[in-house]
Chains A and B, each alone.
Chain A
Amino acid sequence: MQVFKTFMKVMKKHLLSSMIYVTVFVTICVAMTMTSSDTNEFEDSQLDISITDLDNSEASRALAEYIGSSHDIVEIEDDKDKILDALYYRRADIILTINEGYSEKLSAGETEGLFSDYRVPGSYSTQFFDSQLNQYISMISAYTAGGMDITEAVAKAAELSANEIEVETLDFSVSNADFDSVIGMFFQYLAYILIIVLISGLCPTLLVMTKSDIRNRMNCSSLSLTSQMTQLIAGTLIVVAALYIILMTVAAVLFKSMLFNEKGLLAMLNGFVYLIFAMLLAFLLSVIAPGKNAINVIAQVISLGMSFLCGVFVPQELLSGTVLSIGKFLPAYWYVRANNMISGTGGETFVMSEYLVCIGIELAFSAAMFCVVLLIAKTKRRAVSVN
């Protein structure tokens, strides 16, 4: 068991960085679970709007109330930098100022210059807001033109705005009450976490164990090559299994029964198949053995690159056709696709045969990876023995 014990000792030293990734991931998942809300019913989009009322009249207060009834009112300091930040990071969609004289102008039938605002130009949200604001102003000016005074017109407008048209939600995907979007997110981000943790944890350990000095020392011992390899593989499998168990325990604590129904189990299977790929990828990197200092940078290139191309961080539905076509050549794409089907993300419907295709492709990637690992390892060993 010397090889196994040494493997574990070396692993322990490299555990800290892997644990940082896992801890951060778990913390973020806990935060997400606590703040999530999930609904399938149609709701009007709510914009974030900041209102400064310079008119401060009954009519302007009624308008602010009208906007507040369908949107979130946010407080943004009247400072150019703060306004710019809020708009850039979409903390606010519109920074609206109700100009002085709003009420009087409206009573006189004037509509120009009632408001001033800051906005992200040309976006859907501003179009939506304009449409609502224009409707409101149009109603009031029509009522005042019809002879009502401003107070009556405002009241009437409020009354009419309460009449909403009927909206039916057609749900083409199956019900997702047993697998909500947060658990879907958990499994989606797993695609990044598994790769980064295994490469940054396992690779440096395997690199140490396959260093020529250590390998030579092991080879001249009485221990057979088979025993050495078995112990090394056993060590790796235990580490990989431990990682999977830790992550699934976290999922079980966070999502409870959602993990143990049919969909949860399918997601776990998907995660497990992807875990095999991630492990083999770590193996591949350690047999290619790039510089030990570069391994962390390579881990980032592979994990981040694959995540962005395959829809881990940016949903697949938002990615362009070209990106998705490239993504299809990477296993993370199929992992995310299967996960999207399970969680119904992006309107995907769950079809068992398609799910199995995804799992099959992931396994095929793993098999290919396994062959490459064997090939390179063998070529390298032969090169060493020739020398």
Chain B
Amino acid sequence: MFWHNFKYNLINTIRQKDLIFWMMLFPILLGTFFYMAFGNLYEEDELFSEIPVAVVGAESDETFRSVMDELSAGDNALFNPEYTDDETARRLLEDGDVHSIVYVGEELTMSVNGTGLMPSIIKSFLEQYETQKTIITDTAMRNPEKLEAVIAALSEEINCVDTKELSGGNMDAYAQYFHNLIAMVALFGTTSGLMAAIDNQGNLSAIGARKCISPTHKLVSIITALLASFVAQTFCTALSTTYLVFVLKVDMGDNIPLLYLSGAIGSLAGVSIGFFIGSIGRMTMQVKNGIAMAGTMFLCFMSGLMVGNMKSVVEVNAPWFNRINPAALISDLFYCLSIYDDYTRYIQTAGTLLIISVIFTAGGFLLTRRKKYASI
């Protein structure tokens, strides 16, 4: 009886063609949009490349120019200077072709049209240059015999930081948008969960009324409906994972089987939450679905789907919310796989999601059991 019920529930779920179609198309479309929007943002926006800067009056200080040229040569160039006049420099700054204008004269000054790391790096370099000049002039005046040692100390290449490797994983923070996308697809399982609940309630659907008069145990009927929804949802989540990892080549770590398992765990949570919402009250499918969807979007927002660093903001202000927010937990599973070398946190997160699933399924079942209808 179990497999018979499961089979027809699965057929019932799959025959919601419009829903299944959009559920599959949705991550592919949005994933492609994400990829187009963030594909190169990490390289362009965060990873260091030479900083374009306009330099005015460099001819008045040959030393400055030679230092600037030295720093702008080779593969690891710091700057990409354009020696020009004031008017052109201003135009370059206004058009966004350079980040600052450096004026070389008696004293170095600079003009910017906003704040940011690039103007700060330029400013730091100019201050370093001025400082070294001061130190050399000071020493030449007060302690000329030490001048050589001081210049040697200043010219020495400093390598004072020993950077430790933390993880070989993908540190591209934009990748979390993709983690959240899969989390959202998994949580869209609420819709299938809702359907499972409503299809088992006699007062909400015709199929529910039919099921209520059958001798099948309610638990069997519900469990099979949930299982069918879970299978269909896992398929949609797996499809989006496949598209992101193999077509768009988003780096989510090397453990492919666990990526799919994460999607399945997320789908389970989504379906069980949907089942719980579907079991509350007598609102129609559409109303409940609207509420579930809005709730899902809120959870996804808090997990960083729309504003990238939201999860971090929540972590600082209300860390407990990240521990229970299913969207944050699902995206955490993918984050753990792409960053961590060990699986402790992955197992903890997956465990929490499984507990959430059990609580919501049990809650939904308690709400729907032993309901009898005298007349519908």
Contact = CB atoms under 8 A, between A and B. Distances in A.
B48 interface: yes
28 contacts: A13-B283, A18-B290, A24-B301, A84-B166, A84-B339, A85-B315, A89-B173, A128-B121, A130-B161, A138-B128, A142-B153, A143-B135, A143-B150, A146-B143, A146-B149, A163-B130, A164-B127, A166-B110, A167-B111, A167-B119, A169-B113, A172-B93, A293-B18, A299-B293, A300-B30, A304-B306, A305-B33, A347-B113
A130 B78 CA distance: 12
Interface stretch (B19-27, B205-213, B263-271): B19-27
Nearest to B41: A318
B316 A91 contact: yes
A294 B112 contact: no
Contact of B19 (A88, A126, A293, A313): A293
Contacts of A124: 46-48, 117-118, 121
Contacts of A298: 22
Interface of B: 16-19, 21-23, 25-26, 29-30, 33-34, 36-41, 44-48, 78, 90, 93-94, 96, 107-121, 123-128, 130-132, 134-135, 139, 143, 146, 149-150, 152-154, 156, 158-164, 166-167, 171, 173, 176, 184, 188, 191, 195, 283-287, 289-291, 293-295, 297-298, 301, 305-307, 309, 311-312, 315-316, 335, 339-340, 345
Nearest to B109: A166
A297 B23 contact: yes
Contacts of A135: 124, 127-128, 131
A87 to B, nearest CB: 7
Interface residues on A, range: 35 or more
Given A88-B339, A163-B127, A163-B130, A115 B287 contact: no
Given A124-B48, A160-B131, A170 B113 contact: yes
B121 A131 contact: yes
Contact of B163 (A118, A300, A308): A118
Interface string A168-207: 1111100000000000000000001000100011001000
Interface stretch (A38-46, A263-271, A331-339, A354-362): A38-46
Contact of A169 (B112, B173, B290): B112
A60 to B, nearest CB: 13
Nearest 8 A-B pairs (CB), nearest first?
A: A17-B290, A291-B18, A89-B312, A20-B294, A145-B153, A45-B120, A294-B18, A296-B293
Given A91-B316, A115-B161, A115-B162, A297 B188 contact: yes
B291 A16 contact: yes
Given A165-B127, A307-B306, A322-B36, A87 B286 contact: no
A165 B47 contact: no
Contacts of A44: 115, 120, 123-124
Given A124-B117, A139-B131, A145-B153, A131 B124 contact: yes
A294 B315 contact: no
B160 A112 contact: yes
Given A127-B121, A135-B128, A347-B113, 11 more contacts: A44-B115, A89-B173, A113-B162, A119-B163, A122-B48, A135-B124, A167-B111, A293-B191, A297-B191, A326-B36, A347-B96
Contacts of A91: 312, 315-316
Nearest to B191: A293
Given A113-B160, A165-B108, A81 B340 contact: yes
